[in-house]
């Protein structure tokens, strides 16, 4: 089908092509204005615009491989930094000898300066004037609140909120000709793939809705399609906008881009692959920078809803069959524009992240399916024969799954028992109790949760060891206090204690060494199996000083020792 723009009489939009001086009268009641100015460009040319442009797009006749740069000025004296003209890489791209550049922000410019690396017969500057300041039209945040009725599909994946065409200010008269006939009637086909794009427009866009309105006019009027080429557009804040018109929606219904049977509307985003695919464009240029986290999150949620609704494997590659032409090709189910055409789109920095996006979408879809999983911790426990081990078992539910999950365990060794408390439960403790006869070995235990015909399992390890050999009979000896100070002729007392271990029962014979000359020592009782009192008596002639006394205990061929200190002073 050949698409052509409708006559001016059917639009609240002004299109003027100037070849030299010409009269220009704005329509005071138009919501948006669009003016085209055409000139030949040999190397560089400055073109005056008859309005203060919000956005600008450039298209030219001549070499499709020409490289253009553009700079803007409000006063004709100071021009901004020249920027490369990127291509509007959707639809047919270069069509009928015309090459289309992407929409660029002009910020009220009245003049543009264009450089070309070769002579071009005609360069057309399309200037857009968005006459609705941000405060005069519902901001995307408001539109989100107006369109919060999300659609939940049977598998549990929830459609994210989508800003409707009226929410971003689409002029629906652009879709019709003077007789009221729709230029590009919607056609619907089963959805097979998702193809991701970037719009090659400004990053950090201060007014995304205005940019989308300019892209819409550029596609619908300048390029003659009768509508915007994307199915959905996502801005850097993660807001999702309805693109290509599909059908009227009920009040509060979130736009789906599908007919009542779930077939997707054909857009114009990838030549030869428009029917049976969904074209999603991220607003901005992603050649040298990645998408914002908010935009990426919105894209993944939107694709998860689309793929889950239509049974598409987000990590797979499948045969695509164009339902109109019959052309077939195999490519990823979530593809970038460059997978299907010689284009930079969707930008090198972003394209490199598509494998991660596919994985993230798969995870979102899996999390939304009704079901459960089972986990246990710790992963391994060591016990000795007759000992027990505990594992914490957790059941995690997804997609609203509510059936009770009964727990069981397999692989319990001989002579051991296993119990869950409580069971069924989402949080339970598995206790495995061994016996003296449980064989020493390493056992893998499989813990299984069962709900109806659905089972999920996890594994842990139980290591059963021999108990250590009993300790040999032994004892230790201690004395208190650790130090005593007495005058010459005085007596010091120390409490001696015996600590048996390993079944030791013998009486311990006590002895001492290190006494000062003239001093005597006695233990009472001696021998002993529990406690004794050591008395050290000095004389008036005992030499003053500090003495280390070693106390020995001997029994059953064992000797243990401890030490105390005795200080002898004059008085």
Q: Which domains does the chain have, with CATH numbers?
A: 8-130 (2.60.120), 136-368 (3.40.80.10), 372-465 (2.60.40.10), 474-569 (2.60.40.10)
Cα–Cα distance for residue pair 566/571, rounded to 1 Å? 14
8 Å CB contact between 305 and 240: no
Identify the pLDDT of residue 130.
81
Q: Could you report the per-residue pLDDT of 130-139, keeping only the tens digit for each?
A: 877 654 444 4
Give the helix/strand (H/E) hosting 145.
helix 140-146
Q: With b meaning 16 or more CB within 10 Å and e meaning fewer, what string describes 116-144?
A: beeebeebbbbbbbbeeeeeebbbbeebb
DSSP structural state of residue 339: G
Cα–Cα distance for residue pair 184/193, rounded to 1 Å? 22
Cα–Cα distance for residue pair 378/402, rounded to 1 Å? 26
Q: Could you report the per-residue pLDDT of 55-73, keeping only the tens digit for each?
A: 898 988 888 889 999 999 9
Q: What is the pTM of this model?
A: 0.63
Distances (CA, A) of 433 to 94, 218, 389, 461: 76, 75, 7, 14
Residues of the chain with confidence (pLDDT) below 50:
1-31, 91-92, 135-155
Q: Could you report the per-residue pLDDT of 365-424, keeping only the tens digit for each?
A: 888 888 889 999 999 999 999 999 999 999 988 777 889 999 999 999 999 999 999 999
Cα–Cα distance for residue pair 211/243, rounded to 1 Å? 13
Please state the length of the chain. Answer: 571
Cα–Cα distance for residue pair 181/73, rounded to 1 Å? 40
Identify the pLDDT of residue 129.
86
């Amino acid at each position: 089908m050949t698409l052509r723009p409708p006559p001016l009489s059917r639009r609240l939009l002004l299109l003027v092509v100037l070849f030299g001086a010409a009269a220009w009268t704005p329509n005071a009641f138009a919501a948006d204005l669009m003016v085209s100015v055409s000139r030949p460009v040999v190397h560089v040319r400055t073109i005056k615009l008859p309005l203060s442009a919000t956005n600008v797009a450039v298209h030219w006749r001549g070499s499709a491989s020409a490289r253009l740069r553009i700079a803007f000025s409000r006063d004709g004296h100071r021009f901004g930094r020249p920027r490369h003209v990127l291509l509007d890489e959707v639809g047919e791209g270069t069509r009928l000898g015309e090459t289309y550049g992407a929409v660029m922000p002009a910020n009220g410019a009245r003049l543009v300066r264009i450089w070309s690396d070769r002579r071009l017969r005609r360069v057309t500057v399309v200037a857009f004037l968005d006459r609705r300041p941000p405060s005069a039209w519902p901001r995307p945040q408001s539109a989100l609140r107006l369109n919060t009725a999300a659609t939940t599909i049977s598998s549990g994946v929830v459609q994210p909120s989508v800003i409707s065409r009226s929410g971003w200010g689409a002029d629906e008269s652009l879709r019709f000709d003077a007789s009221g006939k729709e230029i590009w009637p919607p056609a619907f086909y089963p959805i097979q793939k998702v193809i991701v794009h970037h719009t090659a427009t400004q990053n950090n866009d201060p007014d995304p809705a205005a940019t989308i309105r300019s892209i819409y006019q550029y596609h619908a009027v300048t390029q003659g399609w009768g509508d915007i080429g994307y199915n959905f557009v996502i801005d850097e804040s993660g807001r999702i906008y309805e693109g290509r018109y599909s059908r009227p929606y009920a009040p509060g219904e979130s736009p789906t881009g599908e007919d009542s049977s779930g077939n997707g509307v054909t857009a114009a985003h990838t030549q030869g692959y428009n029917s049976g695919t969904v074209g999603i464009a991220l607003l901005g240029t992603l050649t040298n920078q990645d998408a914002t986290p908010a935009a990426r999150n919105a894209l993944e949620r939107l694709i998860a809803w689309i793929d889950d609704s239509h049974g598409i494997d987000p990590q797979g590659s499948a045969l695509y069959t164009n339902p109109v032409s019959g052309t077939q090709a195999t490519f990823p189910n979530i593809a970038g524009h460059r997978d299907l055409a010689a284009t930079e789109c969707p930008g090198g920095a972003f394209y490199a992240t598509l494998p991660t996006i596919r994985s993230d979408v798969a995870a979102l879809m899996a999390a939304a399916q009704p079901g459960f999983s089972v986990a246990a911790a710790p992963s391994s426990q060591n016990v000795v024969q007759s000992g027990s081990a505990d594992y914490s078992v957790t059941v995690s539910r997804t997609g609203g799954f509510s059936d009770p999950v009964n727990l069981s365990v397999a692989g319990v060794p001989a002579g051991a028992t296993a119990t869950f408390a409580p069971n069924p439960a989402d949080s339970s403790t598995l206790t495995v109790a061994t016996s003296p006869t449980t064989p020493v070995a390493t056992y893998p235990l499989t813990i299984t949760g069962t709900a109806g015909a659905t089972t999920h399992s996890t594994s842990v390890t139980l290591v059963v060891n021999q108990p250590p050999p009993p300790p040999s009979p032994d004892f230790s000896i201690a004395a208190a206090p650790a130090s005593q100070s007495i005058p010459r002729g005085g007596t010091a007392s120390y409490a001696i204690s015996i600590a048996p271990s390993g079944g030791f029962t013998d009486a311990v014979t006590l002895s001492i060494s290190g006494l000062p000359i003239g001093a005597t020592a006695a233990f009472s009782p001696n021998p002993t199996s529990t406690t004794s009192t050591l008395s050290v008596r000095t004389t008036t002639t005992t030499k003053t000083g500090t003495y280390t006394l070693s106390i020995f205990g001997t029994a059953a061929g064992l000797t243990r020792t401890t030490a105390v200190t005795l200080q002898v002073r004059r008085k």
